[in-house]
Structure 1
């Protein structure tokens, strides 16, 4: 009987033989899902703007490994090489989750609270993500994890870098449609509560009609 590692590498080999995709959702015969991320391909003239793609990928991969070894809230690495990194499926990004009309408001706000707590945990470890936008935070219904670390710096983060992280997370929340202020407040409230500070309760300034099947928040 093949072991799990062998099944993962078989799925990776299959994906690498297929037409190029920078990010691919792979699945083993047993139904185990993971994401395969490869070096980005773009025209050489874009190197002047984005830098060499190999360097950006190596920074992302090594940063992910660094944070995983420290026990940070990131997806588990299942395989890696200089050309790719494969990580377990961490669920839907907050961007996708908040746009999904089938997800209740209660679950969306629960995910945002988890995002605030995860960011506070990362900062308590002495690190800053670098760009914790909603597309870079994933929720699987149980835990929040970060992805994409091209802007991560593996040194102790001071107040400025942590404040920048929090600002990016809040600004990203505020772009998520009509209920955006509620997402932003949830992230901030959870972040400060994680540091032992109780934020004042704020009124809901933008009431939103509750759709059928959604829980009303009070």
Structure 2
């Protein structure tokens, strides 16, 4: 009897587990593309003068809006649930598109983050409300920006500038609501791990598995 149990654990259980995960809607194979080849960020002013691009980076993209200080809890949630866990990867960045005039608000929040977080992978770029609306519209999303040119949702952009998410009719998801920590800890973290798995698998296939994604 014990021998049968051991054989089951060693041989049958792994096969069952594989079939279970392989049959899932969001299996660890590929996260669907919601919008292909979104535009790169223009020559917009960044907080620290860096050149910010979405090319060849996995990007968590957000739109802060003019009420950044009022909604700073959303950034704290994202920082705690996702950023602090994964910011050590070289090919990952967090980019927030902000209206001109919110530079001081961003700096005060980043100064607060700096007390307990390495903020080197946070990037903030600033442009006009019209440019923000135009850029957001080319993402072709169901949800729209609010009256303050922002949204509590953030988006996963892959290295080829494809916006990724879930396309299943029962669970369509184009972005992840930073207002709800549980959504970041569950849906977003699950989908983000799929993206990491994709690139790690590609690196291993090319015999180049490094600290980079």
TM-score, normalised to structure 2, is 0.25
TM-score, normalised to structure 1, is 0.24
Question: Which of the pair has the greater relative contact order for Cα pairs under 8 Å at 6+ separation?
Answer: 2
